[in-house]
Amino acid sequence: MSDHQLPAYAIAHLRDVTFGADIVRYMCEIDATLTPFGGEFVVHGGPVDAVEGQWDGDIVIIGFPSRESARAWYDSPEYRAILPLRLQNSLSATVIVDGVKVGHTAAGRVEELLRGEAV
């Protein structure tokens, strides 16, 4: 993996999901939209152990080979066709974020920030 090809993650915090026919359809159809972009579920709901603060809802994390592939998936006609099924049946916040290089450390991040190399 080059420095320019970091993995990326689409992360969604879902709340107040109305589990009905639309969400079932969304869940049955999302896998096919991920495949062309190398997307794979890393976390898909399940019990959360809130060790700090309060947490409500579910979290979904989908890994991609790069930010470009994650964004291409999210913007694809195939995903856009089913996205309203989720949006109309849940409250959610979704982000796409870069992962880190193998061997990343917090101390290294501090050095980057102090040198003005990182956003």
Amino acid at 73: W
Position 1 in a domain: no
In a domain, 86, yes or no: yes
CATH number assigned to the domain comprising residue 52: 3.30.70.100
Is residue 2 domain-resident? no
Q: Helix 77-87 vs helix 21-34: angle between axes, to the nearest 10 degrees?
A: 150
The answer to the question of residue 71 being in a domain is: yes
pLDDT in tens, 45-58: 988 999 999 999 99
| Residue span of the structural domain in which 103 resides | 8-115
3, part of any domain: no
Distance CA 23, CA 27 (A): 6
The number of distinct structural domains making up the chain is: 1
Residue range 53-112, pLDDT digits in tens: 999 999 999 999 999 999 999 999 999 999 999 999 999 999 999 999 889 999 999 998
Return the pLDDT at 4.
62
Could you tell me which residues come within 8 angstroms of residue 82 by beta carbon, excluding any fewer than 6 positions away?
Answer: 25, 26, 29, 30, 33
